[in-house]
Every structure is written in structure tokens, then in C-alpha cells.
Structure 1
Amino acid sequence: MTPSPLRTTLRQDTHDAHARVDALLGGGIADLETYQRYLGGMQRFLAACEDALLPAWPMAPLQALLADDMRALAVGPTPSLAAPLPATDEPSRLGVAYVVGGASVGARQLARQAEALGFGPGRAASFLHVFAQGSMWNGVLASLDAARLDPHQTDRCRAAAVATFATAEAAFGGLEELR
């Protein structure tokens, strides 16, 4: 399947930001501490993205699983980021969804890493497994394929994706205080 031109544009325009976020995750979930930090970062990230994704991609069910996993591992609530992501139109929401949905693809490897540490569905990794196995990414891909954006709308979609990666960077970058 050939990626849509919009998907290709988003991938190119967010490549460096994506690499910075991946570097913050430091190779994934190697131990309990890195898993706790991942959960805290995801809580901050999803909370900042939630309103921008509504109504097409509700995050509340995932956030409930995330909160349960955090409680199971004694991870307290993380401080909120300064401001949630604004997404005032469909192109902007699609840019946010591109990044959040893409995170679900990366969650597949993280779920395997968590499982190797003894965490799984019902064992403090329900969020990770549901997020990894969910259909959000396929929905985002379908939306990207169907999108007929003019140049201004494409710019708003790209700007939202870049801003969402910056939000992820902020969410995961401040996690040293969770140690």
C-alpha cells in the first residue's frame, strides 16, 4: 500500500521531532522504572491531546486503563502540561491524530517489552496492550487517504502534527521528577 501524499508529508515534516521523542524513551521499557516513566509520560501526553481528538477519537477509555495501570505500579498522577493542544478544525485534529495514532504503533514493541518484564493485560499493562492492539492507526490512515485538503488546510494539519510531537517531547522530557 502506497502512503497517501499527506501521510508522506507528515512523516517528512515530523521526522526530526519523532526522533527526539524516541530518544527520550531511551530504547523502550527496560525495567520497572522506565515503564513507570513511560506511563507517566503517556498520561501527560494523552491528557494534553484529548480535547483535540474529540469526537472522532475519544481517549477516556484508554486513560481509564492507564490510570489503573499507574495505580497498580504506584505511579502517582503526573503534573499536567501547561496547555492542552488546540485543534479548532478537522485538518488540525487529523494532525494530532496522526501523532497519537502513530504512538499506538510504537506501543506494539513496548507491549512486548513490558510483557518480558511480567506485565500484561490485567497485570499493570492493560493500557499498553489495548493501545497497541487498537484500531486508531488504521482509522488515521483511512482519514489521511480520504482527506482532500487545500494548501492552507495541509499547513494546519502539518502544524498540528509538529505541535503534537512538541507536546510529546514536553510530556516525556520532564519525567526525571518521577524517579
Structure 2
Amino acid sequence: MDLPPRRTALKKATASAHAALDALVGSFTTVADYRRYLSGIAAFRLPVEAWLSGAPLPPGFAGWQPGLVRDELKADLADLEAPEPTVARPFMPPDGDGIVGLLYVLEGSSLGARLLAKRAEALGFSGDFGAKHLFSQARNFSNWRAFSERMENVGGYDDRAAARWANTAFDYARNAFESALNADRPVR
């Protein structure tokens, strides 16, 4: 299946950063693995969504809102009696008009959420307990389609800036997951 041109370019420009993040997320097969995942995704999404909530969207995105899962993530952490992760540094996007790249990363996560929700469900978590954020994203696939359409048609699109913002988001996520993994390791 051929992807639209902007999506194809962003996918290519972010392939290595995306693969590095996927390798860290891995395949959670135990409750301990899931708790690490939850800590990592919260350390990524909570600061990014806080920043995004005050950022203006491009004019071509009128009538559309990103699928934010901040409240669901906080509820999942509470369900597992896990603290909100401490964030070493706030999310700071690069210069330029590339917010579409950040949105690409956030909205694209709904694609992977379907698989992750099944894995969480196999561990006993659900849309009612412990995995609300995943089930919310998995059910919100129509938002990805609406975003993709706007991304392809928005005026003033800067492909380099979008790629820079997307890679910054992937790198920030990778750092969040690495911190979650390191926090779980015993100190020697």
C-alpha cells in the first residue's frame, strides 16, 4: 500500500528513531514489564501533552484535536499504585514550524496501541483498569485518519521542520523509557 507523500517522507525520516524506541518498549510479558512500560510512556506523554495543551495548532487543523491520554495515564498509574514518574527535563521542541511532526508521533501511537492493548489484556489489564490509555488510543483510530488527511493538505508545511520535531519526540520518548528501565535496576 502506498502511503501519502508527507506521511511517507516522515516515516522515512524517523525510521531509525522509531525503531530505537520500539526496541525499548519491547514486548511486555509480565506485570513488572508492563509497569516499566507504563512509567516510560507516562514520562514521555505527560510532559509532551502538557506542552501541547498550550500550543496553537496549524490553521488547517481547525475542528480537530489531538487524542490526548493524560487523564487515562494518570488513572492507570493510580490503578497500579505507581507514582507519576519524575521528569528530568520538560519537553522542549526544536525551532521551526514543525508541530505536525510531533502530532504525527502522538497520533501514530494509536496504531501501535491496538497491539499493546492486547498484550496488556493478556496480563489482566483492561480499558477499565490499568490500561485505560491504551484502550482509549486503540478506540480512537478515526482521529489518526483525520490527522493524516489534514497533514497531507495543510498549507505552509515544512518537511524538514516536521521531521526534526518528530525525531525530537521519538528521542524524548526513548529517553523517558531508558529512565524508566534504569530506575528499575538495582544500584550496585
TM-score (norm 1): 0.87
Q: 2:177 is aligned with what amino acid?
A: F
Distance in 2 separating the partners of 1:175 and 1:77: 11
Distance in 1 separating the partners of 2:132 and 2:172: 24
Distance in 2 separating the partners of 1:80 and 1:69: 18
In the superposition, relative to structure 1, how do residues 85 and 9 fare at CA in structure 2: closer, same or farther (>3 Å)? same
Q: Which residue of 1 aligns with 2:100?
A: 94
The structure with more helix, counted as a fraction of residues:
1
The reply to whether residue 167 of structure 1 matches residue 176 of structure 2 is no
Distance in 1 separating the partners of 2:165 and 2:95: 10
**CA deviation vs aligned residue, 1:77-109 (integer Å, no higher than 9, x gap):** 1011412133776x4211001111111211110
Deviates most, 50-59 or 67-76? 50-59
The 5 A counterparts of 1:64-79 are: 64-79=71-86
Q: Which residue of 1 aligns with 2:66?
A: 57
**Percent identity of equivalent pairs:** 30
Q: Which residue of 2 aligns with 1:158?
A: 163
Distance in 1 separating the partners of 2:66 and 2:162: 16
Gaps of 5+ in 1: none
The 5 A counterparts of 1:1-179 are: 2-26=2-26, 28-50=27-49, 51-52=51-52, 54=55, 56-57=65-66, 59=68, 62-86=69-93, 91-134=97-140, 135-149=142-156, 153-176=158-181, 177-178=183-184
In the superposition, relative to structure 1, how do residues 85 and 136 fare at CA in structure 2: closer, same or farther (>3 Å)? farther
Distance in 2 separating the partners of 1:161 and 1:4: 17
TM-score (norm 2): 0.83
Whether the aligned pair in 2 keeps the contact of 1:81 and 1:170 (CA below 8 Å) is no
Find the residue that maps to 1:78 and give its secondary structure.
Answer: coil
In the superposition, relative to structure 1, how do residues 161 and 130 fare at CA in structure 2: closer, same or farther (>3 Å)? same
Q: 1:123 is aligned with what amino acid?
A: F
Find the residue that maps to 1:174 and give its secondary structure.
Answer: helix
Whether the aligned pair in 1 keeps the contact of 2:67 and 2:137 (CA below 8 Å) is no
Find the residue that maps to 2:92 and give its secondary structure.
Answer: coil
**CA deviation vs aligned residue, 1:20-62 (integer Å, no higher than 9, x gap):** 0011012x22111111111111111112322236453263xx2
In the superposition, relative to structure 1, how do residues 95 and 81 fare at CA in structure 2: closer, same or farther (>3 Å)? farther
How many residue pairs were aligned? 173
